[in-house]
Amino acid sequence: MNQDHDSAIRRARRERPKTVRACLLVGPRRSMTLRGTMATMALATALASSSAAVTRSLEVGIGTLSAPGFAAKGVRLELEGEGLARATLRIGELEALARRWRNLTVKCPALRLEGWVVACDSARLEAPSPYPMAFSYDLATGAARVVVTPGAGERWSVEVTGGRTRRAVLTLTAARLARLADLVGELPVKVSAGIADGALHADIAESGTMRVEGQATLREVAFADAAGSRAGEGIGGEIALQARADRDAWHWHVDAAWRAGEIYWAPVYSKAGYRLVADGALTPGVMEVEQAILSADDLGEMRASASWDRAGARLVRARVETGELAAAPLYARFLKPVLGDSAFGELRTEGRLRGSASWEGGRLAAGEVLLDDVSVEDTRGRFALFRVHAALPWRAGARSEGRIGMSGAEVQRLPIGAVGAALTIGPDDVRAERLTIPVLSGLMTLSDLRIHNAPEGIAWQVHGELSPVPLDVLLAHFGLPAMQGTVSGEIPLLRYERSTLQVDGQLVIRVFDGIVTATELVIDQPLGLAPRLHTHLDARALDLERITRTFAFGYVTGRVDARVTGLVLSNWIPVEFDARLESSPGAYPKRISQAAVKSISALGGPDATAALQRTVLRAFETFGYSKLGISCRLQNDVCQMGGIEDRREGFVLVRGGGVPALTVVGYNREVAWTELVTRLKRVTDANVKPTIE
């Protein structure tokens, strides 16, 4: 026994009625062992001789304690009361679980010394919510054990053993994860429920090599953030961790399975059914993911590797490659939430696909998408692609050759035949020299297609030509009355950018033995929920006999010209235009039947009249006319009506010519658009009986 120890004992015995103070500040190299030190002997002697004490207190300055993942500084033990049985442990600073606490206090009403072991079975951690706990500490070996029991059946324990290889073990039994905020501080989300069972073992050898191994089972975990953009309920699964530290590098392995519950992490929502297995290394400068495999029960598998520069906070390299993925769950789980209210937000999908991507120096270097029998159909019936096969490679700074083909498609329920094309894929665009698309019995030929990135999103442009398509077949697909004629045209340039489709040039429709041209055609949000069309229409020399026969309007011979300026359709319903229809110039037969007279009179309103005696009208089946016409300027759902000329009382719709002379006059200059459409329907249904003079 050395001299310092001997003097400490004599001093403790000589001064029993007074306070006994002994201090030990343990340096870093002796942070776990107190054997043979003055503080150990002073504490042991004071406790052993406490039976004769009247009033006594003892303070022991322990200094610093450390273990793998754990460090306590400014540790002091205060003993008082009869037999020095009441103890207070004060810790100036505690670091664990990547968090730091200051000025912690643990109180024990009944401290005991068993050999070299100081223990307490009824201690309490002083905190806003005090935690019952038990602890023991071996003064000779540095072994320590702490057990916290914050709730019924709940147990958190840490055990540290000494020796050549030190070991720390964290064990959780029915641990409530809602306490995580107290342990690890502020999290991105608040954990409100959940139970964890598991253990974490950490071993550190004298050589500095450290091994960590652990596993945990989670049940009924729930979390949310204040904004409601992140939430989870009923989450359950397992996680296993293995790690080894050798010099400055950690080598790790993780195996995690999410087996129950659901998570919403805006904008993605998903249910359980995932497993992640990953291996990697961590050094002071680099985080390396050597291999990670993420698999989903109904989706497929993805493999990845990556290297992250920790000092520069940048991605050095990475590669992601999928196995064969199912298109339906991929779209529903990850793409649909992102696409939201866009044209692609409500799709039915099926088929399989693969993908890969690689990054170098923090930049995307290459990628590829392979589609295998993929079908996509808009649930609102706006478009569909059937059985698509494609190989779409991409390389930074280079062009690649790709291909795409499909068995068919639909646009606004208009059927399109099989399509195939070779593609040239560059860093910023995709090109196709020629693309032939069957449309009913005609062909749409597209040339010089270019799709490219623009500041506002994807943009494309193409030249096009439509060979003649029978109009009756085309209209039948839209449920409209059949018309004789064809639709054809040449489009100098069709452009799409900023969610707007624009036709440069004119679209030509050959119908009713005449020509209708559309110019300045623009469609905003063409595949959106409320597309809006702007255009001007010009018709020349349409055959009235064919028109009136098609729409059961009555019999009229002759030809008409029409001009519609400022036509605006919202969701394909007219909301604005200025239209005028009147007889074409030139000499040609002009006859009108009784039924047509009644129809035109009905369009003029209930007060429209045919300036002809009822008896005369009944005596003739057809009449001659010199000119006819009608105009409508639509604004705010009101049509400002007009004819070929104005009268004080109204406007002329038909001017008579020949014998007998026949004139039809309208009087209602303002008509609700819906009412005018209703009149037209009644006319074609032959349900109107206008007033005849």
Residue 458: the pLDDT is: 87
Q: Which residues pair with 354 in a beta bridge?
A: 370
What is the average per-residue pLDDT within 134-143?
86
**Pairwise CA distance, residues 291 & 624, whole Å:** 88
What is the average per-residue pLDDT within 448-475?
86
Domain co-membership, 550 together with 457 = no
Categorize the per-residue pLDDT at 186 as very low, low, confident or very high, splitting at 50, 70 and 90.
confident
Categorize the per-residue pLDDT at 139 as very low, low, confident or very high, splitting at 50, 70 and 90.
confident
SS3 readout for 366-431? EEEEEEEEEEEEECCCCEEEEEEEEEEEEECCECEEEEEEECEEEECCEEECCEEEEEEECCCEEE
Decide if 133 is inside a domain. Answer: no
Q: Which residue has the tokens 């064809």?
A: 486
Domain co-membership, 11 together with 93 = yes
Categorize the per-residue pLDDT at 229 as very low, low, confident or very high, splitting at 50, 70 and 90.
very high
14-28, 149-163, 244-258, 387-401 — which is least confidently predicted?
Answer: 14-28
Domain co-membership, 547 together with 654 = yes
Residue 36: the pLDDT is: 35
Domain co-membership, 464 together with 566 = no
The C-alpha angle 113, 119, 122, rounded to 5 degrees, equals 125
Nearest to 505 by CA among 520, 495, 516, 515: 520
Q: Has residue 408 got a pLDDT over 90?
A: yes
Q: Has residue 575 got a pLDDT over 90?
A: yes
Domain co-membership, 507 together with 545 = no
- Bigger pLDDT: 88 vs 686: 88
Last residue of a domain, which of 73, 93, 112? 112
Q: Has residue 235 got a pLDDT over 80?
A: yes
Decide if 249 is inside a domain. Answer: no
Q: Which residue has the tokens 């072991």?
A: 117
Residue 29: the pLDDT is: 32
Q: What's the maximum distance between 2 C-alpha atoms anywhere in the chain?
A: 148
pLDDT by residue (tens digit) across 274-319? 999 999 999 999 999 999 999 998 999 999 999 999 989 999 999 9
Percent of the chain with pLDDT over 70: 84
185-194, 388-397, 612-621 — which is least confidently predicted?
Answer: 612-621
Q: Has residue 665 got a pLDDT over 90?
A: no
Got the DSSP string for 295-344? EETTTEEEEEEEEEETTTTEEEEEEEEE--EEHHHHIIIIIHHHHTTSTT
Decide if 228 is inside a domain. Answer: no
Domain co-membership, 453 together with 551 = no
Decide if 384 is inside a domain. Answer: no
* 230-253 exposure pattern, b = at least 16 Cβ within 10 A, e = fewer: bbbbbbbbbbebebbbeeeebebe
Classify the phi-psi angles of 142: left when phi > 0, otherwise alpha if psi is within -120 to 50, otherwise beta: left
Residue 508: the pLDDT is: 79
Nearest to 640 by CA among 669, 603, 607: 669
Residue 664: the pLDDT is: 84
Categorize the per-residue pLDDT at 686 as very low, low, confident or very high, splitting at 50, 70 and 90.
low
pLDDT by residue (tens digit) across 146-170? 999 988 899 999 998 877 778 889 9
Last residue of a domain, which of 112, 140, 157? 112
Domain co-membership, 577 together with 469 = no
Q: Has residue 417 got a pLDDT over 60?
A: yes
Residue 2: the pLDDT is: 41
**Pairwise CA distance, residues 316 & 286, whole Å:** 9
Structure tokens at 669: 């200059």
249-263, 366-380, 526-540 — which is least confidently predicted?
Answer: 526-540
What is the average per-residue pLDDT within 172-181?
87
Residue 159: the pLDDT is: 92
Domain co-membership, 440 together with 571 = no
Domain co-membership, 505 together with 544 = no
Q: Has residue 477 got a pLDDT over 70?
A: yes
Got the DSSP string for 583-618? EPSS----EEEHHHHHHHHHHT-TT-EESS-HHHHH
As for how many domains the chain has, the answer is 3
Categorize the per-residue pLDDT at 1 as very low, low, confident or very high, splitting at 50, 70 and 90.
very low
78-82, 462-466, 546-550 — which is least confidently predicted?
Answer: 546-550
What is the average per-residue pLDDT within 604-615?
50
47-51, 189-193, 668-672 — which is least confidently predicted?
Answer: 47-51
Domain co-membership, 553 together with 671 = yes
Chain-wide mean pLDDT for the chain? 83
Decide if 607 is inside a domain. Answer: yes
Decide if 678 is inside a domain. Answer: yes
- Bigger pLDDT: 177 vs 39: 177
Residue 613: the pLDDT is: 44
Residue 465: the pLDDT is: 87
Domain co-membership, 559 together with 651 = yes
pLDDT by residue (tens digit) across 32-83? 333 334 455 555 555 555 544 444 678 888 788 776 667 889 988 888 888 7
Residue 594 and residue 617 in contact, taking contact as beta carbons nearer than 8 Å? yes
Q: Is the Cα torsion angle 55, 60, 61, 66 positive or negative in sign?
A: negative
**Pairwise CA distance, residues 160 & 141, whole Å:** 10
Domain co-membership, 576 together with 472 = no
pLDDT by residue (tens digit) across 626-653? 999 999 999 999 999 999 998 877 888 8
**Pairwise CA distance, residues 414 & 437, whole Å:** 12
Residue 116: the pLDDT is: 86
What is the average per-residue pLDDT within 88-116?
85
Last residue of a domain, which of 460, 495, 511? 511
Range of the domain at 79: 3-112
Decide if 561 is inside a domain. Answer: yes
Structure tokens at 681: 């329907």
Residue 640: the pLDDT is: 93
